[in-house]
C-alpha cells in the first residue's frame, strides 16, 4: 500500500496512542502479495468489486486529509486482528480481511471514515443481540451480518469506528456480471428471492427499515466510479453470498498460496496506487451457483433507521430503485413500504438478466433522467394518483393530461414484456428452466402489488412472504436448498458452518 507523508505521520501518531501495532517479523512475502487487491471474500457489511480485473483506486485526498485510516498488511488492530489482505473500499470506509489472533479465525473488518457516526455498529449490535437471544434458526440468523466485535481507532481527523463480521463471497451483482448472458438457475433464483425477503422481514421485525438517507455529502468524491455510490438500499450489490468453505484453519501463507492470484500489473504513481489482477476462484459465475451454495447475507446497514423513532423524508437510493413517494410526497416520512418497493426491484433482477428499471446509459452514453425513470414506473404501475400526476413537472413530455402516452406504443415496456424478454426469453435461449404459466402469473401478481404507487397500498413483508409465489415456489426452493446444504456438509464431515457452531 502506498502511503504519503501525511499518512505516515498519522500512523506514527496512531501507534503512539496504542491503536495499531507494528508488524512482527514474518516469513517474507512477495511485493505482489503485499500489494495485491483481491475480492475472493467480501465484508458482510460493504465491499466494492470490479470482477474480471480488480482495481484498487482510492481517493488519495481522502486518505491524506485523514478521512481514511492508513492501514498496511500485517498491522494489528485493537491488539488482536492481524491485517491479512484488503477486500475493498468505498466512500465511507475501507474493508480488510484479518486473522483474529485470539480465536484463530478469519474476519472482515470495516474501518469507517473519521466522520462516521457509528450508527451502523449500534444497529448491528442491537439486531445481533436480539437474534442471539431468539429461537430463530441458524440459517436465518446468517441472513443478517453477525457483528463479532466493534472498536474504535483514533486518527488525526477523529475517531474511526471499526466493525468486525464474518467474511463472505462476492455480491449477487458480481455473480450476474461474471455469468455474462446466463442467469441464475431457476431454483437458485427462487431460493435467493425467498432468503432476501426473509432477511428484510427480520430487519422489519426489529423495527428497522433498511434504506434511508446518507449522512454525508458525496459530491466531494467525484474520483470514485458511479458504482462506489451504489449499495445504499436493498440492492443486489448489498446481497452477499456466504462462503461455502471456511477459511479458518488455513495459515496466512496457505491462504495466499491457495486463493490469491498473481497480479497482471502493478502501477504506482504519486497520487494513486492501481493494481490489476486476475479474477480469483471465489468469484463464481451466477449460473454455476448450485442450490446448496445459494446462501446470502443482506449487508450495509449504514442508512437503516427506525421509522417509529426518527422520520426520514429523503431517499438516496439509486434513481431506478427509489420509491416514488420520495419524489412526489417529500413531506411524508419514508417507512417500511419503501423497502418493499426496493425489494420488488431486487426480486425481478434475481429472476432476470437485467434490472427492472435500468438507470444505466440508454442513448449515446447518456443516463436516464429522473423523468424517464418515472415513465418506466408508469408503464409498470399505470397512472399515478392524481395529486402526483399534477405534481409531475415532466409529465407533459410523455403523457397527455388524460394519461395517453405521446410515444409510439412499441416503445413501452409493461410488466408482461419485461418478464418475457428479460426473464423467460434468455432462459429459453440458454436452455434453462422457465417459469410456467401459473408461476408467471403468481410472480406478476406479487410484483404488481409491491409496486403500488401509494405506500399504504403495498403489502407488508409478512404478506410478501405469504403470497402465492413465495409459498408455492420461492420458499419451497429455499427449504430444498437447506436440505441440500445439510447433505453436503454431512458428506464433508463439517460440524461448523461459516464460523458459527450448529
Q: What confidence score (pLDDT) does residue 110 get?
A: 93
Report which DSSP code applies to 286: G
pLDDT reading at 489 higher than 70? yes
Q: What confidence score (pLDDT) does residue 20 get?
A: 56
Most confidently predicted of 30-44, 102-116, 200-214, 347-361? 102-116
Determine the average pLDDT of the residues in 97-113. 94
Q: What are phi and psi of 454, to 5 degrees?
A: -85, 135
pLDDT reading at 139 higher than 90? yes
Q: What confidence score (pLDDT) does residue 369 get?
A: 66
pLDDT reading at 109 higher than 70? yes
Determine the average pLDDT of the residues in 330-340. 88
Which carries the bigger pLDDT value, residue 496 or residue 78? 78
Q: How far apart are CA 44 and CA 60, in angstroms?
A: 25
Given pLDDT bands bounded at 50, 70 and 90, which one contains residue 339?
A: very high
Q: What confidence score (pLDDT) does residue 428 get?
A: 96
Sheet holding 273-278, edge to edge: 53-54, 273-278, 263-268
Q: What are phi and psi of 497, to 5 degrees?
A: -120, 115
Determine the average pLDDT of the residues in 419-445. 97
Q: Domain residues of the chain, as ranges?
A: 10-168+246-281, 173-243+285-495
HEC string for 153-198: EEECCEEEEEEEECEECCEHHHHHHHCCCCCCCHHHHHHHHHHHHH
Q: How far apart are CA 495 and CA 502, in angstroms?
A: 7
Query: Pseudo-torsion of CA 228, 234, 238, 241, nearest 10°?
Result: -160
Q: How far apart are CA 197 and CA 452, in angstroms?
A: 18
Report the chain's terminal Cα–Cα distance, integer Å: 38
Please tell me the CATH code under which domain 173-243+285-495 is placed. 1.10.510.10
Determine the average pLDDT of the residues in 191-211. 95
Q: Express each pLDDT in 209-235 by its tens digit.
A: 997 544 333 222 222 222 333 334 788
Q: How far apart are CA 282 and CA 291, in angstroms?
A: 16
SS3 for 371?
A: helix
HEC string for 14-26: HHHCCCEECCCCC
Question: 262 burial class (0-12, 13-18, 19+ CB within 10 angstroms)?
Answer: exposed
| pTM value surpassing 0.75 | yes
Given pLDDT bands bounded at 50, 70 and 90, which one contains residue 368?
A: low
pLDDT reading at 264 higher than 50? no
| DSSP per-residue codes, 211-260 | ----SS--TT-TTS-GGGG--SSS-GGGEEEPPSS--TT--HHHHHHHHP
Compute how many other C-beta atoms are within 10 angstroms of the C-beta atom of residue 19.
Answer: 23
Q: What confidence score (pLDDT) does residue 408 get?
A: 62
SS3 for 111?
A: strand
| DSSP per-residue codes, 298-340 | E---TT-B-TTT-------S-TTT--THHHH-TTSPP-HHHHH
Question: What is the second-level CATH architecture of the domain 10-168+246-281?
Answer: 2-Layer Sandwich (3.30)
Q: What are phi and psi of 86, to 5 degrees?
A: -95, 135
Q: What confidence score (pLDDT) does residue 491 get?
A: 81
Tell me: is residue 310 an annotated ligand-binding position: no
Which carries the bigger pLDDT value, residue 230 or residue 492? 492
Q: Are 55 and 276 in contact (CB under 8 A)?
A: yes
Q: Are 484 and 292 in contact (CB under 8 A)?
A: yes
Helices (H), 412-460: 415-419, 425-429, 437-450
Q: For residue 377, give the nearest of 349, 412, 353 by alpha carbon.
A: 412
pLDDT reading at 4 higher than 60? no
Amino acid at each position: 500500500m502506498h502511503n504519503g507523508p501525511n499518512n505516515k505521520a498519522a500512523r506514527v501518531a496512531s501507534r503512539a496512542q496504542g491503536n495499531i501495532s507494528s508488524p512482527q517479523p514474518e516469513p517474507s512475502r512477495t511485493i505482489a502479495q503485499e500489494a495485491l487487491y483481491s475480492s475472493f471474500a467480501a465484508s458482510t457489511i460493504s465491499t466494492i468489486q470490479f470482477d474480471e480485473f480488480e482495481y484498487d483506486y482510492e481517493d488519495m485526498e481522502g486518505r491524506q486529509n485523514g478521512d481514511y485510516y492508513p492501514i498496511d498488511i500485517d498491522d494489528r488492530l485493537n491488539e488482536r486482528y492481524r491485517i491479512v489482505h484488503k477486500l475493498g473500499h468505498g466512500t465511507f470506509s475501507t474493508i480488510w480481511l484479518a486473522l483474529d489472533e485470539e480465536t484463530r479465525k478469519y474476519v472482515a473488518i470495516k474501518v469507517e471514515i473519521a466522520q462516521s457516526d457509528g450508527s451502523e455498529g449500534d444497529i448491528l449490535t442491537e439486531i445481533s443481540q436480539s437474534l442471539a437471544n431468539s429461537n430463530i434458526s441458524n440459517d436465518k440468523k446468517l441472513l443478517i451480518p453477525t457483528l463479532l466485535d466493534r472498536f474504535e481507532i483514533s486518527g488525526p481527523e477523529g475517531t474511526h469506528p471499526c466493525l468486525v463480521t464474518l467474511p463472505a463471497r462476492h455480491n449477487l451483482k458480481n455473480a450476474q456480471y461474471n455469468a455474462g448472458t446466463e442467469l441464475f438457475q431457476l431454483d437458485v433464483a427462487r431460493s435467493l428471492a425467498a432468503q432476501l425477503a426473509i432477511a428484510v422481514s427480520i430487519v422489519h421485525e426489529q423495527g428497522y427499515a433498511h434504506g434511508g438517507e446518507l449522512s454525508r455529502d458525496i459530491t466531494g468524491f467525484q474520483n470514485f466510479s458511479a458504482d462506489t455510490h451504489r449499495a445504499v438500499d436493498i440492492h443486489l450489490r448489498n446481497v452477499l453470498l456466504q462462503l461455502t468453505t471456511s477459511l479458518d484453519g488455513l495459515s496466512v501463507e496457505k491462504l495466499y498460496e491457495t486463493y490469491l492470484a498473481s497480479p497482471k500489473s502493478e502501477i504506482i504513481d504519486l497520487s494513486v496506487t492501481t493494481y490489476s489482477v486476475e479474477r480469483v476462484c471465489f468469484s463464481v459465475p451466477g449460473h454455476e451457483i448450485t442450490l446448496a451454495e445459494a446462501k446470502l447475507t443482506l449487508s450495509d446497514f449504514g442508512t437503516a433507521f427506525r421509522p417509529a423513532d426518527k422520520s426520514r423524508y429523503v431517499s438516496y437510493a439509486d434513481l431506478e430503485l427509489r420509491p416514488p413517494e420520495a419524489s412526489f410526497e417529500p413531506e411524508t416520512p419514508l417507512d417500511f413500504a419503501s423497502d418493499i418497493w426496493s425489494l420488488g426491484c431486487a426480486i425481478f433482477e434475481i429472476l432476470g438478466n437485467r434490472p427492472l428499471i435500468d438507470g444505466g446509459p440508454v442513448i449515446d452514453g447518456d443516463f436516464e433522467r429522473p423523468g424517464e425513470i418515472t415513465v418506466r414506473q408508469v408503464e409498470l404501475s399505470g397512472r399515478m394518483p392524481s395529486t402526483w400526476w399534477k405534481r409531475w413537472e415532466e409529465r407533459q413530455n410523455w403523457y397527455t393530461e388524460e394519461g395517453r402516452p405521446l410515444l409510439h406504443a412499441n416503445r413501452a415496456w409493461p410488466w408482461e414484456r419485461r418478464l418475457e424478454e428479460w426473464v423467460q426469453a434468455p432462459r429459453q435461449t440458454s436452455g434453462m428452466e422457465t417459469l410456467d404459466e401459473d408461476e408467471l402469473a403468481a410472480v406478476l401478481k406479487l410484483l404488481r402489488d409491491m409496486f403500488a404507487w401509494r405506500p399504504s397500498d403495498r403489502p407488508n413483508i409478512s404478506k410478501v412472504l405469504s403470497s402465492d409465489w413465495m409459498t408455492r415456489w420461492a420458499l419451497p426452493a429455499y427449504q430444498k436448498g437447506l436440505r441440500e446444504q445439510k447433505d453436503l456438509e454431512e458428506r464433508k464431515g463439517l460440524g461448523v458452518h461459516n464460523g458459527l457452531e450448529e
